[in-house]
Amino acid sequence: MGAGFRLRQIRERLGLTYRDVERASFELAVARGHAAFTLRISRLAVIENHNVIPSLHKLYTLATIYHLNPLEIADWYAVPFRTCFATCDSVFSTDNYPASLPTSLRVPLRFDPVCDPRRSEHLNRILENWKEFEAIIFSLNTRYLYGYIGLNDCAMQPLLRPGALVLIDADNRRIDNDDWHTEYDRPIYFVNLGERYWCGWCYKAGATLILQPNPRSRCIPEMYRYSGVNVIGRVVGMATRLTPW
């Protein structure tokens, strides 16, 4: 079943004519302040009857008027926006950058009642059920952000490997010089240097910010004016591979 035919079926089930959709799109375009949201009768006809792919603005209009999830409509046109975040993991980058939030999370729903939490176990063996959870619930809290460690960034090896995803606490931006005892509990920060991003240890000395890599990485420390950098936040979690890419 083609995407255009599905859209026509939904429109007819809602009792809407071409004219109704066009009129509603005019109102939406006015509300959004952008004429691209307007969906004229002629355009709607070719979308339905000739399976023409709507633009992003038209897709938003159709989803709004028909009360549909725009990601579902995109799936009909074989554009899998839902899996975008998972696919990003296989598209490597040599530079650090902030990463988008996933649209959903797969979380454990029920554990085997006989499992012993004191022992290491294979998750698939002790979990009775998984559940897809809407990540939008977490993204409403702007405190936490994601970051990606580029394949060329070896500054924190072996603690933090290239290709890792890190969870950043954006509310914790103060550089802490003293409140730690070992390298394993020393704060790691994600910093915007303007031309690139840095992820690693930092030391604030007056008006100077010293970027300190792990000594075992053999990278060289760097110094910047503190006022010229933007500390995005402190790294509070990570997902990383233990084997080379």
Whole-number Å distance between alpha carbons of 149 and 145: 13
| Contact (Cβ atoms closer than 8 angstroms) between residue 135 and residue 104 | yes
Contact 208, 225 (CB under 8 A): yes
Pick the closest to residue 77 from 3, 11, 6 (CA basis): 3
> Residue-wise pLDDT tens for the chain (245 aa)?
789 999 999 999 889 999 999 999 999 999 999 999 999 999 999 999 998 999 999 999 999 999 888 888 998 998 887 777 656 555 666 777 777 666 566 655 566 666 666 665 555 555 555 555 555 555 556 688 888 888 888 899 888 888 888 889 989 999 988 878 888 889 999 999 988 899 999 999 999 999 999 999 889 999 999 999 999 999 998 887 776 65
How large is the angle between the packed helices 41-49 and 56-66, nearest 10 degrees?
90
Q: Identify the helix (H) or strand (E) that includes residue 46.
A: helix 41-49
User: Is the peptide bond between 158 and the residue preceding it cis, with omega within 30 degrees of 0?
Assistant: yes
Contacts of 109 (CB under 8 A, 6+ apart): 127, 128, 129, 130, 131
Reading across the β-sheet that carries 189-192, which strands appear in turn?
97-99, 144-148, 165-169, 230-239, 189-192, 197-205, 208-212, 222-225
CATH number for the segment(s) 3-79? 1.10.260.40
How far is Cα 112 from Cα 209, in angstroms, rounded to an integer? 49
pLDDT digits (tens, 9 = 90+) for 178-191: 878 888 889 999 99
CATH hierarchy code of domain 144-239: 2.10.109.10
Render pLDDT for 105-149 as a digit per residue (tens, 0 to 9).
665 556 666 666 666 555 555 555 555 555 555 555 668 888 888
Domain regions of the chain by residue span:
3-79, 85-93+101-139, 144-239
**pTM above the 0.75 mark?**
no
Contact 43, 62 (CB under 8 A): no
Side chain identity, residue 73: I
Distance CA 13, CA 143 (A): 42
> Cα separation of 177 and 155, whole Å?
19
